[in-house]
């Protein structure tokens, strides 16, 4: 274990004016509080907080953060209290220790809504003071370095949590070195065979081709000396997990993988960066499409560098990163650079990101909707790399890699996204699902009346766009459900001889616990509530009287005793819908829905029209309606659809396929229903099924009476 004077010496290396007494007192207090506690390895527990503090000295952090590291488990695991820590070390340290304690209690790898809520708490802690996360990341890094003493199942759980949450978070904060080490430590636990295989291949490659890193580093130095540019050159083989991920993403064998070596050139000025780029491109052939200029367009976490990939010795591809020394400091520390010290004073690095602005950029686009959406948006923000596009006026828009013109439109304004109909990239019209690339100019074309489509959810990648689309679709669905609910309520009230007035609906809403009549109608339209329930709530005696099933032979009122009726095949009217009859000599009366297009041919024959309406009460399920359904071409889908219809107490009387494709089937299903409410129950159930791409009421206007 590092003793207190050695720890103070580490701090004084970058901050000679540090408060050594504060660190000594925190060290002694933490050691006393953890007295008698041991880690799984058998070591004294206090070795862990000291190691965490040492990791944070590598990032040159302030005294409060170092002291927090020494005390970060005291409130959680000892008899220490917040009040005591505040009294001894100040409110700032107490707040930080309390923040780390709360994060320690969050189970970020838990499931679904609990995980989403815990992520929300994580971001709240970050927004209060980002140093809480810096301590937590250092805590996790040391735990991963010493994970072998844990049980195998606990190792796997911690490694998965680290790989899924802490490593991406470190990367999003700009601490790339920490992300790589966390990933590699997790990789060692989760897939040791793959990691060892890559290491063995590296050793074989080194035996065959020699020390490539040393050779290429020497070549770059030689070229820079020729033009008298002073710069430091470093090279290294990439981490095993980074190589493994590329092999998986590109489906390549190790022997075919390029740019497994990375090199950094660190110089004094931005002008030197571009001079060095010219020298490297003159000496080696640049690989097309592998150049990124993060000097002119920095990442949101403060990262600045020039990236280029060239064909080096023997045609081997190598990535070269070029940056200034100040940029390198920020690139290593990320957002933590804001708190770093040099020579006893806070380092005024012009490239360090203001943590408040950074956390705002992380959270401003996170939807306040349900848990699943929040969790999805957080992960999108954490895992995203970025592309930079231009507006027609030349302004820069930053988006995650894989973003589309729709993401771009929503990043400008929600109204632009909602009304987007097409886009132009560099002046050429492209589909909305096109993936954007660095440096492209994007123009969005909008139209009044355009609304987001459900398919857009699968096109966009940003949390902001997904949230806006879902919000619009919910509003549109609600409007549709309210309209349908009005029709269902009207029909149900007419069955008992009443009118669905606004006052009646408001009264029913209050009695049933809805906020207002619009919420009641939306619930009716979405099948969350039945119209019968509304009627029973207001008129229980009338609803009971109307509860007997209506005989199918007397389902329609308005006919003479000698007249018979049939439902028209074209519109297939149902009880609950407004209807009209057309008389046929010797054939009785044919019933049409009031909006049936077939009625146009009878406009000049008013003597054939008969005013009809459905009998009130419960009708038998004998009224056939045809559905036009598109389903996925997968095993078991058709069976599930038939079961789903049966669960709604509806009988399938016929089924025929109209189109067969490799990925979908289109078919017409004839179903026997009671009334329009029964129709809506079946349609809602089908629409909710994942493998149903489309469902609509099929009306065949070619069929004769």
Task: Tell me if 577 sits within 8 A of 593, measured CB to CB.
Answer: yes
pTM over 0.85: no
* Residue 114, pLDDT score: 52
pLDDT per position as a tens digit, 409-422: 998 888 899 999 99
Crossing angle between the packed helical segments 82-89 and 91-104, to the nearest 10 degrees: 140
Task: Tell me if 65 sits within 8 A of 57, measured CB to CB.
Answer: no
* Residue 47, pLDDT score: 93
Q: Which top CATH class is 194-346?
A: alpha beta
- Can you name the CATH fold of 623-697? Alpha-Beta Plaits (3.30.70)
- Give the Cα separation of 618 and 667 in Å (integer): 30
* Residue 367, pLDDT score: 45
The CB-side HSE value for 359 (13 A sphere, CA atoms) comes to: 18
How far is CA 7 from its chain centroid?
Answer: 42
Asked if residue 256 has pLDDT above 60, the reply is no
DSSP letters for 467-532: HHHHHHHHHHHHHHHHHHHHHHHHHHHHHTT----HHHHHHHHHHHT-SSHHHHHHHHHTTSS-HH
CB atoms within 10 A of CB 597: 12
- Give the Cα separation of 530 and 524 in Å (integer): 6
* Residue 6, pLDDT score: 92
Asked if residue 28 has pLDDT above 70, the reply is yes
| Residue 127 binned pLDDT confidence (cut-offs 50, 70, 90) | low
Least confident of 115-124, 188-197, 453-462: 115-124
Asked if residue 373 has pLDDT above 60, the reply is no
Arithmetic mean of pLDDT, 305-317? 80
* Residue 112, pLDDT score: 47
Scan for tokens 């999108």, then name that residue: 380
Crossing angle between the packed helical segments 176-190 and 152-161, to the nearest 10 degrees: 150
CATH of 4-189, one of 1.10.3720.10, 3.30.420.40, 1.10.3210.10, 1.20.1530.20: 1.10.3210.10
Q: Exposed e or buried b for every residue in 39-64, given b needs 16+ CB within 10 A?
A: eeeeeebbbbbbbbbbbbbebbbbbb
Asked if residue 363 has pLDDT above 60, the reply is no
CA distances from 149 to 193, 194, 525 (A): 20, 22, 58
Asked if residue 542 has pLDDT above 80, the reply is no
The SS3 call for residue 611 is strand
pLDDT per position as a tens digit, 560-601: 878 889 999 999 999 888 899 999 887 789 999 988 988 888
DSSP letters for 314-356: GG-EEEEEEEEHHHHHHHHHGGGGGG-EETTEE---TTPPPHH
| Active-site residue, from 77, 117, 443, 628 | 77
| Active-site residue, from 43, 58, 76, 219 | 76
The verdict on whether 76 is a catalytic residue reads yes
Arithmetic mean of pLDDT, 322-339? 76
| Residue 361 binned pLDDT confidence (cut-offs 50, 70, 90) | low
pLDDT per position as a tens digit, 488-518: 888 888 877 788 888 889 888 888 888 888 8
DSSP letters for 164-213: IIIHHHHHHTT-HHHHHHHHHHHHHHH-HHHHHHHHHHHHHHHHHH--HH
Q: What is the mean pLDDT of the chain?
A: 82
Q: Which residues contact 570 (CB under 8 A, 6 or more apart)?
A: 592, 596, 597, 598, 699, 700, 701, 703
Share of the chain above pLDDT 90, in %: 25
- Give the Cα separation of 181 and 621 in Å (integer): 66
CA distances from 135 to 18, 71, 643 (A): 18, 11, 54
Beta bridge partners of 233: 265
Q: What 8-state DSSP symbol labels residue 255?
A: G
Q: Which residues contact 442 (CB under 8 A, 6 or more apart)?
A: 389, 390, 391, 397, 405, 408, 423, 424, 425, 436
The verdict on whether 77 is a catalytic residue reads yes
The SS3 call for residue 45 is coil
pLDDT per position as a tens digit, 455-469: 888 888 887 788 888
Asked if residue 552 has pLDDT above 60, the reply is yes
Task: Tell me if 267 sits within 8 A of 231, measured CB to CB.
Answer: yes
- Give the Cα separation of 435 and 401 in Å (integer): 8
Beta bridge partners of 345: 342
3-state per-residue secondary structure call for 115-177? HHHHHHHHHHHHHHCCHHHHHHHHHHHHHHHCHHHCCHHHHHHHHHHHHHHHHHHHHHCCCHH
The SS3 call for residue 297 is coil
Listed by start position, the domains of the chain span: 4-189, 194-346, 471-545, 549-619, 623-697
Tell me how long the chain is. 705
* Residue 366, pLDDT score: 47
Scan for tokens 């009044």, then name that residue: 448
The SS3 call for residue 228 is coil
Q: What kind and span of H or E run contains 375?
A: helix 371-383
C-alpha radius of gyration, the chain, whole number = 35
Task: Tell me if 216 sits within 8 A of 261, measured CB to CB.
Answer: yes
Pairing of strands 565-567, 588-593: parallel
The SS3 call for residue 630 is strand
Crossing angle between the packed helical segments 47-57 and 63-71, to the nearest 10 degrees: 160
* Residue 245, pLDDT score: 79
Beta bridge partners of 70: none
The SS3 call for residue 12 is helix
Asked if residue 393 has pLDDT above 70, the reply is yes
- Give the Cα separation of 136 and 306 in Å (integer): 31
DSSP letters for 655-677: EEEEEE-SSEEEEEEEEEESSHH
Least confident of 103-107, 132-136, 409-413: 103-107
Arithmetic mean of pLDDT, 221-240? 90
251 φ, ψ (degrees, to nearest 5): 55, 50
DSSP letters for 82-121: HHHHHHHH-HHHHHHHHHHHHHHT--TTS-HHHHHHHHHH
Asked if residue 386 has pLDDT above 90, the reply is no
């Amino acid at each position: 274990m590092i003793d207190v004077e050695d720890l103070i010496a580490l701090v004084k290396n970058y901050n000679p004016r540090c408060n050594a007494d504060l660190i000594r007192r925190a060290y002694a207090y933490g050691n006393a509080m953890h007295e008698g506690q041991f880690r799984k390895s058998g070591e004294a527990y206090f070795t862990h907080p000291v190691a965490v503090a040492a990791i944070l000295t590598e990032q040159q952090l302030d005294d409060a953060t170092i002291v927090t590291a020494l005390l970060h488990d005291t409130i959680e695991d000892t008899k220490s209290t917040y009040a005591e820590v505040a009294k001894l070390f100040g409110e700032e340290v107490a707040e930080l220790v309390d923040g780390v304690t709360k994060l320690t209690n969050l189970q970020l790898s838990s499931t679904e809504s609990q995980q989403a809520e815990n992520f929300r708490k994580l971001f709240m802690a970050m927004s209060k003071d980002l140093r809480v996360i810096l301590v937590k990341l250092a805590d996790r890094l040391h735990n991963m370095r010493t994970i072998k003493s844990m049980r195998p199942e606990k190792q796997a759980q911690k490694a998965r949590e680290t790989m899924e949450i802490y490593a991406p978070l470190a990367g999003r904060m700009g601490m790339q070195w920490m992300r790589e080490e966390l990933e590699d430590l997790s990789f060692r636990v989760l897939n040791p065979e793959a990691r060892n295989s890559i290491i063995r291949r590296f050793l074989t490659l080194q035996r065959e081709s020699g020390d490539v890193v040393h050779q290429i580093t020497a070549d770059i130095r030689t070229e820079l000396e020729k033009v008298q540019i002073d710069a430091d050159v470093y090279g290294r083989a990439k981490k095993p997990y980074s190589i493994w991920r590329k092999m998986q993403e590109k489906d390549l064998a190790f022997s075919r993988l390029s740019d497994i070596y990375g090199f950094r050139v660190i110089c004094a000025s931005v002008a030197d960066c571009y001079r060095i780029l010219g020298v490297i491109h003159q000496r080696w052939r640049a690989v097309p499409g592998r150049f990124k200029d993060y000097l002119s367009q920095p990442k949101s976490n403060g990262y600045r560098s020039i990236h280029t990939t060239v064909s080096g010795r023997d045609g081997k591809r190598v990535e070269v990163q070029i940056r200034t020394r100040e940029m390198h400091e920020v690139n290593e520390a990320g957002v933590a650079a804001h708190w770093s010290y040099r020579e006893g004073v806070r380092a005024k690095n012009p490239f360090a990101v203001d943590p408040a602005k950074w956390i705002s950029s992380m959270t401003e686009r996170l939807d306040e909707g349900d848990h699943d959406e929040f969790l999805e948006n957080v992960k999108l923000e954490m895992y995203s790399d970025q592309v930079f596009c231009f507006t027609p006026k030349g302004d820069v828009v930053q988006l995650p890699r894989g973003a589309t013109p729709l993401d771009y439109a929503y990043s400008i304004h929600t109204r632009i996204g909602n009304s987007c109909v097409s886009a132009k990239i560099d002046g050429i019209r492209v589909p909305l699902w096109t993936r954007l690339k660095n440096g492209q100019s994007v123009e969005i074309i909008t139209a009044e009346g355009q609304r987001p489509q459900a398919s857009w959810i699968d096109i966009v990648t940003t949390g902001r766009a997904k949230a806006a689309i879902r919000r619009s679709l919910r509003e549109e669905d609600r409007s549709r459900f309210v309209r349908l609910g009005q029709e269902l309520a009207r029909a149900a009230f007419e069955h008992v001889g009443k009118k669905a007035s606004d006052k009646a609906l408001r009264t029913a809403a209050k009695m049933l616990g809805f906020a207002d009549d619009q919420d009641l109608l939306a619930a009716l339209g979405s099948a969350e509530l039945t119209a019968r329930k509304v009627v029973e709530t207001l008129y229980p005696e009338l609803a009971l009287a109307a509860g007997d099933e209506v005989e199918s032979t007397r389902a329609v009122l308005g006919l003479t005793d000698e007249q018979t009726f049939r439902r028209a095949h074209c519109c297939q009217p149902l009880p609950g819908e407004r209807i009209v009859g057309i008389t046929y000599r010797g054939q009785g009366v044919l019933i049409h829905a009031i909006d049936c297009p077939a009625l146009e041919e009878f406009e000049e024959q008013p003597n054939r029209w008969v005013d009809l309406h459905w009998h009130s009460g419960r009708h038998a399920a004998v009224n056939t309606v045809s559905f036009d359904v598109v389903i996925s071409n997968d095993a078991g889908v058709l069976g599930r659809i038939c079961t789903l219809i049966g669960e709604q107490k509806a009988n399938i009387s016929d089924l025929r396929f109209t189109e067969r494709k490799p990925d979908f089937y289109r078919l017409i299903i004839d179903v026997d229903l009671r009334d329009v409410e029964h129709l809506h129950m079946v349609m809602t159930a089908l629409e909710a099924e994942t493998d149903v791409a489309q469902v609509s009421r099929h009306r065949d206007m070619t069929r004769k009476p």
